[in-house]
Amino acid sequence: MPSAPSGRYEWFGWTVSAASGVDIGLARLTETHEHFHRHLDDTTAFGGLVTTIAALAEAQPDQRWRRVHGQLVTQTDLLNETFAVGASLLTTQRGLKIIDGYPLYDRYVTILERLLGSVHPWVALAGLRAAAMACMQSSALELASVTGFGDFEPTQIPPLERPNHRLSALVQSHFDQEVAKAERVLERDHGAEPWWQRTAQVALPAESMEGEAGALSETLQDRLFVCAADFLRARGAQVLGHDAHHEQLRALLAAASSQASRGFGR
């Protein structure tokens, strides 16, 4: 049996290591997995906070930032891994199922099954993106910006503003039922169209993310994001819109740049 490659994501990039004789399909899965880690951090509020603190940890390794960064990572690692596992499995045509050679994926596949149910891969991908975005669009970035670097501690972030806690809340909610409802409507309206069709080898044809189908996917993702946000808000969480964190992130980056240039506690 070919050996499985390994990947490592470190917020500013990633590496993939493959031994001789590695399965090329698994190597592609690993590369795609690491890409989705970066994608999630680059497009969300909590991800922006994590990567900003990671930059400070590199700029000032003798300061407290490595500890702060590590604490932030433990608040989002489950969500981040679940997203990367699901998105990489779906986009490499494997479906949300356990695969040989990757036992560490088993836990996340189980979470995905509870979060999304058993639905068409095209619907599952939109549902996964929506759920992950809702989990990452928390008020943590604003809290860090308002508190200031000198006083900010990850322990100040309320549990429901932490991505892992939000993922747990969504798994326990009826989000999977909303995903299933959406699938039934789409199956009725588009089930005969070529981009909806799937085979054992191709679950997501290229045309399923282009043109009208691509626009429908974005619409579905937006609708399911609203559903996920509503579930979380009903529990007392704050959920930002897709781009609502940009101003806060710019302010935090400016403060981080100033912090890095003058040093901390010196």
Task: Measure the CA–CA gap between 182 and 162, rounded to whole angstroms.
Answer: 27
Main-chain phi, psi angles of 16, to 5 degrees: -125, 125
Instruction: Give mean pLDDT, residues 144-158.
Output: 90
Instruction: Give mean pLDDT, residues 90-94.
Output: 87
Q: Residue 95 pLDDT > 90, yes or no?
A: no
Through-space distance between the first and last CA atoms of the chain, rounded to whole angstroms: 55
* Angle at CA of residue 77, ends 108 and 47, nearest 5°: 125
Task: Measure the CA–CA gap between 167 and 78, rounded to whole angstroms.
Answer: 8
pTM (2 d.p.): 0.88
**3-class secondary-structure state, position 7:** strand
Kindly indicate the confidence band of residue 4, based on its pLDDT and cuts at 50, 70 and 90: low
Q: Residue 33 pLDDT > 90, yes or no?
A: no
pLDDT in tens, 192-244: 999 998 877 788 888 888 999 999 999 999 999 999 999 999 999 999 999 99
